[in-house]
Chains A and B, each alone.
Chain A
């Protein structure tokens, strides 16, 4: 890397320094000076296969088993994971589908309300996916906007060059999606071998993962307010029930944090 640094004594003798790659790619390049840094798609894919894969895999394994217990087919389970791809809504839908004589429309409204976070999440991530890209390229990310890839991307994308962001997200998201699908299928198949206590413990992996991520966010001033606001507004969900409660808590806690942040920001 030293050779690329411009020298004050011979400014014209050296070519202009190339744009610096992101920190993780630079680290990898130092280890294997002759090997070019991995493409961002692969970096994202590999990053998804650690803690995020454990969190998603455990949750979707439990979901697959729950679908089998409700007497619904593996195809229903896979379509739910692959295309709804939002666990809160999937669980609401599963509960409603299991009720005898359940009407479809109330179940759809409740499941969509439980997953209504997709709207603000997509609004927030859209500028990070490259506003200068053609719309159809950004739409490639559409089916994969779910809480795990979103939470990782909101941390990771600002540090990447703009051209690397969409490929990184697609790598991370595709790996997460494949893990979710494989875990759902395995859960449906292995339902008899997964007793209820084990499935309950597996379900805990997801909130634990996000609890650790959010605990780290408490150190980031721009995000801290929303983390605290959401936690304080959480009791609203107990009052309103699982379908609308989460949406209401997010709206109240997030909007409160947003306004407080703007007021203190103006004063500063």
Chain B
């Protein structure tokens, strides 16, 4: 077993424990308990931070897409979302097309 395999196995175990602890804890509380509302707010905020970072300051391969192209992708997606009255799939296709077009049209 290599280090990568061991790391994968332990990460899987840790993820299952986190999920199980959450389900047990959340199931034991009243649905209107403040801890449930807090956990929900933290989850939504994490997702929101992820989106902002992925668009404005991504790490890894996504960073190779220039910022104007990423912004064009978001703008095209939002425009598609409005024009197509909230239909997600076509709005996403608009966004991805916007990103690719802007990237292709950029000099250099």
Q: Which residues of A contact B (CB under 8 A)?
A: 50-51, 54-55, 62, 66, 72, 76, 79-80, 83-86, 88-89, 91, 93, 95-97, 102-105, 107-108, 111-112, 115-129, 131, 135, 138-139, 141-143, 145, 147, 150-151, 154, 196-197, 199-201, 203-217, 223, 225-231, 233-234, 236-238, 242, 245-247, 249-255, 257-258, 261-262
- Known contacts A208-B92, A229-B48; A118/B19 CB under 8 A: yes
Residues of B contacting A96 in the complex (Cβ-Cβ under 8 angstroms): 7
Question: Is A229 a contact partner of B41 (Cβ separation < 8 A)?
Answer: yes
Question: Is B92 a contact partner of A121 (Cβ separation < 8 A)?
Answer: no
Residues of B contacting A111 in the complex (Cβ-Cβ under 8 angstroms): 7, 11, 14
Question: Is B53 a contact partner of A234 (Cβ separation < 8 A)?
Answer: yes
For chain B, residues 50 to 93, give those with C-beta under 8 angstroms from any C-beta of chain A.
50-57, 59-62, 64-65, 70, 73-74, 77-78, 81, 86, 88-89, 91-93
**Shortest distance in angstroms between B59's beta carbon and chain A's nearest beta carbon?**
5
Question: Is A257 a contact partner of B45 (Cβ separation < 8 A)?
Answer: yes
Question: Is B50 a contact partner of A216 (Cβ separation < 8 A)?
Answer: no
Question: Is B49 a contact partner of A142 (Cβ separation < 8 A)?
Answer: no
In whole angstroms, what is the CA distance A230 to B47 when docked?
7
Query: 1/0 per residue B81-108: CB within 8 Å of A?
Result: 1000010110111011001100100000
Report which residue of B12, B86, B93 has the largest number of chain A beta carbons within 10 angstroms of its beta carbon: B12
Contact check: which of A118, A143, A210, A255 meets B50 at CB < 8 Å? A210
Question: Is B99 a contact partner of A201 (Cβ separation < 8 A)?
Answer: yes
- Known contacts A104-B3, A122-B21; A117/B11 CB under 8 A: no
Total inter-chain residue pairs, C-beta < 8 Å: 302
Residues of B contacting A62 in the complex (Cβ-Cβ under 8 angstroms): 61
- Known contacts A127-B36, A211-B77, A212-B92; A97/B3 CB under 8 A: yes
Contact check: which of A93, A112, A205 meets B96 at CB < 8 Å? A205
Known A112-B14, A142-B19, A245-B53; 19 more pairs at CB < 8 Å:
A66-B61, A79-B12, A91-B60, A118-B18, A122-B22, A141-B23, A197-B65, A204-B54, A207-B50, A211-B77, A212-B77, A226-B40, A230-B44, A230-B46, A230-B47, A246-B46, A250-B47, A255-B41, A258-B42
